[in-house]
Amino acid sequence: MGRIIQRKAADLIPCQTNVSLSQLAKLFHFFKERKHQELFPPVIHSISGGDIVLNGHHRLVLADLFDVQLNIYRAEDELDLITVESYPQLNQTYISETNNLIRGNYSCGERYAFNIRSGGYNSIRDLREKNGVTIERIERFIGYSPFEVLPLF
């Protein structure tokens, strides 16, 4: 079974190229409502060139922006799935969606990493910077200072 590790987000390899301000706003709503415990940690797996993100890109972008270390789940293989018994605080739908991402993205990890990197997205920091995610933009979008609810990752 995978394990929870702590690490910085900056050098993780993304498998997506877009960051949505509305998704970031949804995360801040979770933080503000103190519902962040209902979120499973971001999921990664190791490939030959580093660690690729399977799930949790938006939280990792925020962790990089605010220079926060996160708990991250390292999946050992595509069958290393989350169970309700192990994480009873999580919503069943969320568990199913996360497991689908683990299964779907795990087998494509190397190819995703190559394609994403060829577009200049070598890290979560690149993902954040190329999408223009700044504290100021987040504050304008959500209507309050992000520092009111941090650090709740």
Residue-wise pLDDT tens digits, 95-142: 888 888 888 777 666 677 777 777 888 899 999 999 999 999 999 999
| Overall average pLDDT of the 42-59 stretch | 84
pLDDT score for 152? 57
Q: What is the pLDDT of residues 53-76, one digit of tens each?
A: 888 999 999 999 988 888 888 888
Q: What is the 8-class DSSP label of residue 14?
A: P
Distances in whole angstroms, Cα of residue 45 to Cα of each of 7, 86, 102, 139? 13, 19, 9, 32
Alpha-carbon distance of 47 to 32, in angstroms, equals 35
Q: What is the pLDDT of residues 84-99, one digit of tens each?
A: 888 787 778 888 888 8
Handedness of CA 68, 135, 37, 86 (dihedral sign): negative
Give pTM, 2 decimals: 0.84
pLDDT score for 58? 92
Neighbours of 23 (CB within 10 A): 13
Q: Which phi-psi region, left, alpha or beta, contains residue 120 (left: φ > 0; alpha: ψ -120 to 50)?
A: left
